[in-house]
Amino acid sequence: MTSAPLQAIRGTRDIWGTEIRLWQYLEQHARDILGRANYQEIRTPLFEATELFQRGIGEGTDIVSKEMYTFTDRGERSLTLRPEGTAGVVRSLIEHKRLSQGVQRCWYQGAMFRYERPQAGRQRQFHQLGVEVFGSEDPRVDVEVMAVALEFLQALGIPNLTLELNSVGDPADRQRYKAALVEYLTPYAADLDPDSQVRLTKNPLRILDSKDPATQAILRTAPLLPQYLGKAAQQHFEQVQEGLQALGLAYELNPRLVRGLDYYTRTAFEITTQDLGAQSAVGGGGRYDHLVEELGGTATPAVGWAMGLERLVVLLQKQGEPPAPELDIYVVSQGAGTATLSLQISQMLRGHGLRVEMDVSQSSLGKQIKRADKLGSKACVIVGETEVTTGQIPVKWLATGVQEIVTFPNGFRDATFWQKNFR
């Protein structure tokens, strides 16, 4: 009996074809721009001890309470597929004692996992690009990470970007605000949406993120977090704004902006676009000066951001498909003894930095040359039985039909000839 074909698990998907070129395009831009700012790449494990995320993200968050992929391994340890990148980076820098070595600028990209309802630009296995800076509470670092984020998005050609900015204050500021918010919302508790009713006792700041119209109507006259900032947090917030203004970076103050993770302090920001519909945020972040200490390290100020790559790809797809990589040479062959020679020639040409495909279809030379033309190759190297004997190999320039003879092996070893014709 034939088994049913297997399919990708709901909330995961394959990435290939023209779409993979978009991923490679944005990943290369990230490497270039973050490299120029001297951020160093870090790669952390896909799974960590569950406790890391419980302590780092906060047990009152939806991520920890509803969305994490947690399992027990054969050693009876509770492990979790990482739902975000920052906690793992912090764990790594603590473990390897990097935080005592001055300011650390890191960046990462890779797969994250949350049990959410799949939709356009959001999957259960999704990918994030993020940066983290440890070891400085200077407001200029907050400005720098936002500037780098905007530079990256603008380099991709993402249109209609808005930087939304707020300060969530220091822990004492937030506690005062939480008390005021709970006092205001308690008389309306029965009118809040179900999630907000739960959050009222567990994580009241998350109510500000509710998309429920009735809850939003109640929030219109609620107290605002910036009204509760202490002197230090207010001064820091003003200096961040001055830095953005000095760089000519436009921003909008959003006093209701809070981040979805408990560890944020002071600066909080999101970058949004009008081109994503309801899911308008392409990235966001802020400062988290107490997370390192919360996870067992020495108190270390930090700031960073993360972006969902799937959403960026959706935006890039609206701009059209990227150009296919140009194929320099297509090596065709037919007849006895041609297999080895075509293999040698292909490898020699790749050694000159050329993009080369070797035909292995064993179809007629005419069909192979037609395929070369279809693929947009600039030239064909034609290997037949006569060429094996004589070592005189025709190279056909497909745009003009002109052929010239190159001697094997010396002609194919001549880097000057090939680089002159293809670069």
Residue 167: band (very low, low, confident or very high) from pLDDT cuts 50, 70, 90: very high
The C-alpha R_g of the chain, in whole angstroms, comes to 28
Residue 261: band (very low, low, confident or very high) from pLDDT cuts 50, 70, 90: low
| Span 331-347, average pLDDT | 94
Same domain, 291 and 390: no
Distances (CA, A) of 111 to 73, 126, 156, 266, 274: 20, 5, 21, 28, 26
Dist. CA 287–CA 303, nearest whole Å: 4
Same domain, 282 and 363: no
The per-residue pLDDT for 174 is 87
CATH number of domain containing 162:
3.30.930.10
> What pTM value is reported for the model?
0.86
Provide the Cα torsion 358, 359, 360, 362; round to 10°: -150
Same domain, 40 and 131: yes
Same domain, 393 and 310: no
Encoded tokens for 367? 């069909």
Residue 364's SS3 state is coil
Last residue of a domain, one of 295, 317, 339: 317
CATH number of domain containing 349:
3.40.50.800
Residues 275, 278, 283, 284, CA torsion sign = positive
Of 409 and 59, more confident: 409
- Among 11-15, 62-66, 141-145, the range with the most confident prediction by mean pLDDT is 141-145
Of 306 and 326, more confident: 306
Q: Is the pLDDT of residue 229 over 90?
A: yes
Same domain, 183 and 65: no
Encoded tokens for 265? 């302090």
Neighbours of 74 (CB within 10 A): 5
229-260 as b/e, with b when 16 or more CB fall inside 10 Å? beeebbebbeebbebbeeeeeebeebebbbbb
Q: Is the pLDDT of residue 306 over 90?
A: yes
Would you say residue 9 lies in a domain? no
Same domain, 71 and 194: no
Q: Sheet with 78-81: list strands edge to edge.
A: 47-49, 78-81, 70-72
Same domain, 263 and 121: yes
Indicate the number of domains in the chain. 3
Same domain, 66 and 206: no
The per-residue pLDDT for 116 is 86
Would you say residue 208 lies in a domain? yes
Mean pLDDT of the residues in the chain: 91
pLDDT 10s digits, 102-151? 999 999 999 999 998 887 767 899 999 999 999 999 999 999 999 999 99
Q: Is the pLDDT of residue 161 over 70?
A: yes
pLDDT 10s digits, 282-298? 999 999 999 999 999 99
Dist. CA 384–CA 399, nearest whole Å: 22
Same domain, 135 and 41: yes
CA 339 to chain centre: 42
Same domain, 96 and 115: yes
Last residue of a domain, one of 317, 340, 356: 317
Q: Answer for the pair 149, 305: CB distance below 8 angstroms, yes or no.
A: yes
Encoded tokens for 408? 């094997």
Residue 105 is part of which domain span?
17-170+250-317
Same domain, 282 and 154: yes
The per-residue pLDDT for 154 is 94
Q: Is the pLDDT of residue 279 over 70?
A: no
Query: CB-based burial of residue 357 (10 Å sphere; 0-12 exposed, 13-18 middle, 19+ buried)?
Result: middle
Same domain, 306 and 346: no
Pairing of strands 125-134, 161-167: unpaired
Would you say residue 11 lies in a domain? no
